[in-house]
Amino acid sequence: MVVPLRDDARAFCSGVSEKLCELDEHEWDALVSDENFYNSYRWLRALEHALGETDVLTVRGPAGLVAACTLWNGGQSPGLFYLPSFVADIPGPWQQKFLWLGGRRNTHNGVSCIEGRRRFEAQAELGRCASDYARDRGYAGFVMPYMPYSAALKFADAIGGTVILHSAEASLEVPETGLSGVMARWRKHARVQSKSEIATFRRLGSRVEWAAAVELDDSLAADLITQNRSRYGGVSDHEWMQKILAGQRTAGVSHFVNAAISKRNDDITALTIFYSFGTALHARYFGANYNLDLNDFRYFVLSFYEPLDYAAANGFTKLRLSTSALRAKVKRGAKIEPQALVAKCVDGQPICQHSANQHNLRTLRQYQDEFAGHLCRDWELVESNPNLTS
């Protein structure tokens, strides 16, 4: 339906862009759907303030930006961002350097791209641009990790990439009645357990307050978050976390912050930082003072129970709960969504689609075994939409 102007006038062109800060914030965000917070302009700018600038790939049409993404190098040691650990059973040059598309350390990615009929074409051009960038700089290929499975299928189709299931994310639909509405769907045992956790939290003198970023002390928040990360094997220190939060303030991400804080008397004992975006609340950081010997279920109160009521009262329809501690989240009503990376090698060496399909099916079975009854419908796509065997 778009006016058939000359082909060269309608064609997309792509390249390594000027810096992110030189791109128009609103033009970028016009490509960002409600589900793609971690590729929104301010989040990416916050990462730049904290961790330094990165290159940006852009695709433009005659009327402006139609697709874009930031680039980074992934993690270099085992962890959430270490490619070899995602694909150990698939032959490929995984020990070589791969280019990563999307925001740094994102555990939820989507392609920032126009919607509609020309989305496929715009994504294809972004893929060509990523291939050229990777080839020119000696990368073996590129990946976009932590994509919702359905989005990964479409991106892979557009760029001739391979979909590799590698992770899962928990989320909760928020009914208008909040926590009570969610509990009404549970079995009695689960309801009793959650009510008991909430009662314990209160009996031990804890209460919850919600705070905007302006009311938060970044140093204290960084301390609590770092304590929690250290407890579970994280290596980033207090200074690193404070730098991240400072970057968010500079970039204006703090505008989206909603923090659930647990207090005893006037002492902050824990917090969960959420970001509101579109119709979802995105849980990103939990922190706690583990010097206090408190067994008051503050993680669950701050990250599940209270946010359900808060979300319902403020018109949010989804809680996004990230990729960790899935068992605990499922026990409290969360659904598990499949996440995949899209990979493409640039040296002409194809990724074995058969191996990728077998890997995906094995991963599917693992999640089916572990989380039966808690998987969202997108998991059905793993069986019904395999990679095309080359």
Residue 279 beta carbon to another protein: minimum distance, rounded to whole angstroms: 9
With CB under 8 A as the contact rule, the residue among 14, 17, 39, 40 that binds another protein is 40
Q: Find tokens 């270099």 and name the residue.
A: 76
Q: Which is nearer to another protein, 43 or 367 (CB)?
A: 43
Kindly state the tokens that stand for 195.
Answer: 């009510």
Q: Which helix (H) or strand (E) holds 199?
A: helix 188-203
How far CA 176 is from CA of 72, 185, 186, 337, in Å, comes to 40, 13, 16, 22
Considering only residues 97 through 126, tell me which ones interact with another protein, judged by CB under 8 A: 114-119, 122
Q: Per CB under 8 A, which region of 84-92, 128-136, 250-258, 338-346 contacts another protein?
A: 250-258
Position 62 contacts another protein (CB under 8 A):
yes
Q: Which helix (H) or strand (E) holds 39?
A: none
Name every residue whose Cβ is closer than 8 Å to that of residue 179 and which is 6 or more positions away in sequence: 305, 306, 308, 309, 312
Give the span between the Cα atoms of 342 and 151, in whole angstroms: 10
Give the span between the Cα atoms of 309 and 358, in whole angstroms: 41
Position 1 contacts another protein (CB under 8 A):
yes
With CB under 8 A as the contact rule, the residue among 18, 27, 237, 267 that binds another protein is 27
Position 7 contacts another protein (CB under 8 A):
no
With CB under 8 A as the contact rule, the residue among 20, 31, 222, 245 that binds another protein is 31
Position 3 contacts another protein (CB under 8 A):
yes
Q: Which is nearer to another protein, 114 or 308 (CB)?
A: 114
Give the span between the Cα atoms of 333 and 222, in whole angstroms: 29
Kindly state the tokens that stand for 158.
Answer: 């557009």
Q: Find tokens 């995949």 and name the residue.
A: 340
Q: Per CB under 8 A, which region of 3-11, 87-95, 199-207, 239-247 contacts another protein?
A: 3-11
- Determine the size of the site formed for another protein (CB under 8 A): 37
Site string for another protein, 196-235 (x = CB under 8 A): ----------------------------------------
Give the span between the Cα atoms of 221 and 300, in whole angstroms: 18
Residue 255 beta carbon to another protein: minimum distance, rounded to whole angstroms: 7
**Strand-strand pairing, 162-173 and 64-72:** unpaired
Q: Which helix (H) or strand (E) holds 136?
A: helix 119-136
Residue 290 beta carbon to another protein: minimum distance, rounded to whole angstroms: 35
With CB under 8 A as the contact rule, the residue among 181, 234, 252, 386 that binds another protein is 252
Kindly state the tokens that stand for 275.
Answer: 């970001």
Residue 23 beta carbon to another protein: minimum distance, rounded to whole angstroms: 11
Instruction: Measure the N-to-C terminal CA separation of the chain; round to a whole number of Å.
Output: 34
Q: Which is nearer to another protein, 257 or 346 (CB)?
A: 257
Position 255 contacts another protein (CB under 8 A):
yes
Asked if 247 and 43 touch (Cβ cutoff 8 Å), the reply is: no
Position 311 contacts another protein (CB under 8 A):
no
Give the span between the Cα atoms of 175 and 182, in whole angstroms: 7
With CB under 8 A as the contact rule, the residue among 13, 18, 21, 34 that binds another protein is 34
| Binding residues vs another protein (CB under 8 A) | 1-3, 5-6, 9-10, 24, 26-27, 29-34, 40, 42, 61-66, 114-119, 122, 252, 255-256, 276-278
